[in-house]
Structure formats: structure tokens, C-alpha cells
Amino acid sequence: MRHHFSMASKLVTLLFLLHFLPLKSYCSTQQSWIKAGYYYSGSETVISDINSKLFTHLLCAFAYINSSNYHLSINSSTEQKFFTFTNTVKLKNPLVTTLLSVWVGREDSPIFFSMINQSSFRNSFIQSSIESARFYGFHGIDLCGVLPSKSSDMTNLDTLLNEWRIAVVSEAKNSSKSELLLVMSGHYLPALDSVSYPIESMMKNLDWVHVKAYDYYVPRINNFTYTHAALFDPMNGANTDSGIKEWKRRGFLLSKLVLGLPYHGYAWTLLDPNNNAMGAPAIGPAVTADGSMGYKFIKSFLRSFPSEPVYNATYVVNFCTIGPTWVNYDDVEAVKAKVSYAKQSGLLGFNVFQVGNDDNWVLSRAAQGEDDDQHNKSHRLLIILPTAVAVVLLLSSIICYLQSRVIKSRCCIDSVKRLLYKVRIKILDAEDLNGNASNLQVFSYSAINAATNNFSSENKLGEGGYGPVYKGKLRNGQEIAVKRLSRTSNQGLEEFKNEVTLTARLQHVNLVRLLGYCTEREENMLIYEYMPNRSLDLCLFDPSRCSLLDWGKRVDIIEGVTQGLLYLQEYSNFIIVHRDLKASNILLDNEMTPKISDFGMARIFGKDEHEANTGRIVGTYGYVPPEYVKKGIYSMKYDVYSFGVLLLQIISGKRNTRYYGTHDNLNLLDYAYELWKEGRGFEFIDPSLDDSCSYYKLLRCMQVALLCVQENPVDRPSMLEVSSMLKNETGAINNPKKPAFSIQRDENEEGKCPLQEKMCSVDDATISQVVPR
């Protein structure tokens, strides 16, 4: 019996590890970066109400520059808040760091630029800022609102930052105190009208720069609806991703950038309530004088109406239409996506504006990867765990005693583990999975863990929106690929069930084969056949591997993807819209046969259905058509659009997330169209495909691809027509108009083919004829 109690104690230890180790590792990772927030002293938020445990740094705003002596001044009506700020927020979080924020933007910018123009004025400001920070008990100073203006002003800013850092270092040395932090808020672009911030000085003298990644479009200025804080923008509007890339291009270290997160949104009044898509005409602000609304106000406002907000994953924004009012803002999904982007991009952290706009700290918890359930998990465990441990101990000892009479102790342990597993985890819709995926194998966690060498980093193949993918090898020697749902993923149970139930029904040589799944230990893992040549994007964009893709191989891939889509749209029992066709989702086996993968976002249509609408906008930047981005409408033409983008990438070897052209201002589609229209399509083709015999066939692929990416889905061909055009069964094809998301001016698209006449009437440009047989 002593032996059985020993085994039970091991199981209890196992339960402790399963529950607590993830919590420990999670907390440790969260401490490694900046979680900052502005507190606006003019707001009604009480300082003691701030949940400072959710932040590493808090900035008290604002102090101002006195125009007569250039000393810092604080409004008498709010000065008491500055006196008590640090001590108050430290009651809940003794480790929080506080900063005094100095406003120098908009109407105060002339005072600031006048100050930095003279040495004596700068010295007066610097000494006053240090003295004020110490006097009010802050640990650092923030310079907020500076925009790149004249070159001479930026030269003076360079000088100010150098002198400021020297003074801060000297003051700390003489006072034996820690150095004050020096930080600054920056425009989302480091240069405006060819005038740039002093990048080198900012990197050398500032602890970090927080990028103001919001207020790109506001209703008091723009007479059309648009997201004010887009992370991405396929229409090439102002967006955070392009700004971050520009900071990097100009040499600023991303590890010293902090991403600004807005806790506010804007409301527009629509010109026509029936036209409420992104970019719809508007006649000015709604709800408030300038249209601005704090997140707390927005949530309260929306609760009064039946309309459901929509999350758009392409722009990473939430929006809602209520009659003539169009509101856009960042909710939990958007905040999580932006924080994930900041981590993946190697930024230093995030900085929210402003903490008082949060609603019960929902956004702040989301920003650090918590929701309310996770926040209270440890408290619930402390209540439940003692009882659970006693029950587990008793149950384990009884079962072990009984089982020891008929089986060996090893079997006893396995039986107890299985019993505990059945009690402990939730089986997600098991009947539904078994009924629709009876031909799939249900893998145990231990089998997958062993196959992937405990999910080791050496076995990791990559990571996508669902989570990391690992290479594995089963005991029978079969190689597998394991896709494991990440805890921070925006995808989840719906995508997992969709992949399992849908993929089990589909069988085609150009579709990846799902072998099975695993749901033990609250995991949602998908197990696929392993593809030795990985994904198409690795071959296309890796200089060391692109040589594998000669024209013959690319033709095979184009034809294989075409056949896979034809099966989904025409030849299966249902019409399947994939909704995430892209280069990374085209896998290549050992013979370079393409296989479409990742059906987590796919949707089934009946044979008599043509289109559908969704309130949850998902997909991958650069592959999503405009009607889906703007209105959530999707149909078979969605995948045709994605195929067009993919086809352009295959023939050019170019990424669709970069800009091209003489001024680096054209996206991939615009660049292809411009060259095709000017009869310079050969400049678009991948230089490694130097084959005069296939030149016209490549240009025909280019023309077909441009037809697939037309703005209006009606102007796009079906996949049957695409297949026919690529095989040239019908001869001449239409000339494309400008592509979707184009920044080029409208022109008369009708007329003669811009390429030579023989380009429009080539009879032998069939993919079938150039495939090596």
C-alpha cells in the first residue's frame, strides 16, 4: 500500500506542475518588456482607481513650458494630483515607475521650438524639468507631442537631447540618486515632408520612443470613414506597420520603440446610412464635437443599440454602424493583435493613451495577455486545489489498490491517469468530431509529445496565426507535422473544429492530408502528413532555395493549385471557400507537388449559394479582396483574388508586403499593372526565369493574375475560366483594369492591349504545353 500512496503522490505532483508551471513561465515573460500608460490629470479618473499592477510605467500628463522663462509649469487645478501620483499608484504596485510628461505639441509647439533655439533657454528648461521631476517624486521625464518640422528645429532637438542626457547623468552622480528616465513620443513616421527626427541622437540619449500609432484619420479633418489606428492597410493608407518599417529603414533600433495603443475611437456621420463601408462619404463628426470617444464611453454607447460591432482582422480594428453613425475603435481582439505584433517585431513594449478610458481594465488585461478568467485563475485554484488534492489522493489509492490485484503497477498508473484525464478536461464536442471525422486518428498527448521531442525548438518548423508547427516522427517511423494552438492566438476552437470536420471530407492530390488530432490536456493539435519541402513561400523568397523553382516546377505548382481550387469550387460535394490561400499555405511534398493547407477559416456553400456575409473579418494581409475587407462579403471570387496575388508572386518571386516602383510607393498589384500597361512586363518577371521560350507564357500568367485581382468581383474570372485561360483553350482574353486597392489615378481602361499585338493573340501560351512530360 505504501507503494500505491507513493504513486498517488506522484500524480498529485503532476497536477501541481500542470497548473502552476504555465502560470510561472507566463508571468516571467510578461516582466521582460514595457507596459506603460498615460494618465491625463485633467480627466475625472481618480488616481487611486488606477490598477497599477497592470503596468510597469505610468506617465502623469501634462506639465507645460512657461513661455516667459521656459521653466516647467503645472496647472494649479491639477497640481495636487502630481504631488500624490507616485505614492498613490505605488500602493497597488510598489515596483511601478512613474514619469512626468511634458506637452509640447500643437499650440504649444512654437514655445518649444523657440526654447530649443537658444542655449540659455535650453538650459533653463533642462534644469527646471529635472528639478520638477524630483520635486513631484517622478522617476523620469517624457517629451510628448514633438513632430518633425523644419530641419533647423530638428538640429536643435538633437542638441537638446544631448544636453539633457548630460544634465541627467550629472544630476544623478551629484545627488547619488538613480538617473531619471528620458523618453519621448514620436509620430508614427520618423520623417514628414523630407524632414526627419534626429534618429542617432534619439537612440543615444533616450531610453525609448513611444510611437503615436493612432489618430491617422479623424472626422474633423477627413470627410470619409476610416480606421484611425490601422495596424495594416491593403489600400496603402496610413498604418502602423508601414510606420514601424520606416523607423527601422532609417536606422532606429526597434528594441527602443514602444507601440502606442489608443483607448479611444472616433465616430463619423455618414452621408448615406446605406453606404457604411470603410471609406464611405461622411459629413463630419458624430456623438461628440470632434467625434472622439473613450473606450468606456464607446462600450456604454453601443450597449444602447442592437447593432453588433465587427472585428476586421485585415486592418486590425473594430467598427460598428448605428443608423447614420459609424464608429471605429480598438477592442480586445485588436489590442491583443497589436501587442502580439509588437512582440513579434521586436519592439520594447506598449504605451496606452489613456488609462482612464479603459472599461474595468478590460483592454489593459488584454494588452498583457490576460482576460478576466485568467486573472482570477490563481485565486480559484487556491480555493479548489486543497479539496481536489484530497479527492485525487483518495481516488488514486483506492484504484491502485484494486488494480494491483489484477494488473501490474504500471497499468495502474495509466488507468488512474486516464480516469483523471476524463474528469479534468473538457472534451470539445466529441460527438460532432467523431461523427464527421471518423476516418481520422485520435492521437494521445504522450504520443505527440514523444514524436516532437517534447516540442523542442529544434523540431519547430515555423509559426502561423493558429500557432507553432513542429516536425515529428511517430513510433512506426512515419513523419508528421503537428500544428499546436497557441494560447495567444486569435484563432481557437472554431478553427480547430472547422479544420477537423471539413478536411476529413476532402480528398484530392492537391489538398494536404490531415491524419488526425489531439485534444488531451486542453490542447487543440492537428496532425498532418509531413511535407519535406515545406511551404511555397520558403522556396520563393529564400535566395538559397529559389533555384529549385525553375519554370517547369512553377508551372506544376500553378497547375496544381488551380486543380485544388477547382476541386473545392466545382467538383466536391460542397462549394468550399478557403479564405486563406497564400504562399505559406501551399505545401510542397518531396516531388514538389503543391498541396493547399489550413482550412481553419474555410466556409461551406450549398450548390445554389453564391455569396455570404460575416461580421468577423479574418484573413491575411495582402491576400484579402476589397469586398471582404470593407463589407465582410465573401464568395468563390474571394479565392480567385487570392489566387491572383499568389500567381503574381510565383512568376515574380516578389513578396506582397513590400513596395516597388521608382519611388517605392506601389504595392505588388499596382507595380505589376503599371509594368503590364506600359508593355514592360518582362521587368516584373523573376530574373532567374531567363527563358526566352517561356517569356510570352509568363506574361500571359501575369495578365490572368491581374484579371483575378480586379476591384469588382464581377470582373474576376471563375476558377474554371482561369484554368481555361492558362491552358489557352479559348484564345484571346480580356485586358485587366487597374487592380484592387490601387493608388493610381482613374483612367479610361478601355482600348487596345498595351503590349504588342502578338502578345494578345499568342496561341501556344498554354501551361500544359510547357510542362516537362
State the CB neighbour count (10 A cutoff) for residue 434.
11
Residue in this structure with the C-alpha cell 463628426, named with its chain if needed:
285
Distance CA 162, CA 169 (A): 11
Using an 8 Å Cβ cutoff, are 322 and 305 in contact?
yes
Side chain identity, residue 751: G
Peptide bond into 62 cis (omega under 30): yes
Distance CA 659, CA 90 (A): 47
Q: Which residues contact 315 (CB under 8 A, 6 or more apart)?
A: 227, 230, 231, 232, 233, 239, 278, 629
Using an 8 Å Cβ cutoff, are 612 and 603 in contact?
yes
Catalytic residue among 153, 233, 580, 598: 580
Distance CA 432, CA 572 (A): 21
* C-alpha cell at position 449: 509529445
Instruction: Identify the CA nearest to 328 among candidates 359, 358, 293, 355.
Output: 293
Active site residue 580: yes
Tell me the Cα Rg of the chain: 30
Using an 8 Å Cβ cutoff, are 152 and 109 in contact?
no
Instruction: Identify the CA nearest to 596 among candidates 636, 563, 640, 547.
Output: 563
State the CB neighbour count (10 A cutoff) for residue 106.
9
CA distances from 12 to 16, 411, 416, 522, 528 (A): 6, 18, 11, 18, 34
Instruction: Identify the CA nearest to 299 among candidates 268, 320, 273, 282.
Output: 320
Distance CA 715, CA 754 (A): 19
Residue in this structure with the C-alpha cell 516532437, named with its chain if needed:
452
Side chain identity, residue 696: Y
SS3 state of residue 207: coil
* C-alpha cell at position 290: 470632434
Percent of the chain as helix, strand, coil, to the nearest 5: 45, 20, 40
As beta bridge partners, residue 317 has 312
SS3 state of residue 721: helix
As beta bridge partners, residue 113 has none
| Strand 195-196 relative to strand 191-192, pairing | antiparallel
Using an 8 Å Cβ cutoff, are 273 and 304 in contact?
no
Q: What is the DSSP letter of 545?
A: T
What torsion, rounded to 10 degrees, do the Cα atoms 603, 579, 723, 758 define?
Answer: 150
Using an 8 Å Cβ cutoff, are 521 and 445 in contact?
yes
Q: Which residues contact 350 (CB under 8 A, 6 or more apart)?
A: 34, 35, 36, 258, 259, 260, 261, 338, 339, 342, 367
Please, is 381 exposed, middle or buried when counting C-beta atoms within 10 Å of its C-beta (0-12, 13-18, 19+)? middle
Peptide bond into 354 cis (omega under 30): yes
Please, is 111 exposed, middle or buried when counting C-beta atoms within 10 Å of its C-beta (0-12, 13-18, 19+)? middle
Distance CA 390, CA 387 (A): 5
Using an 8 Å Cβ cutoff, are 629 and 713 in contact?
no
Give the 3-state DSSP-derived string for 275-298, with helices as H, strands as E and coil as C. CCCCCCEEEEECCCCCCEEEHHHH
Distance CA 690, CA 693 (A): 9
SS3 state of residue 616: strand
Active-site annotation, residues: 580
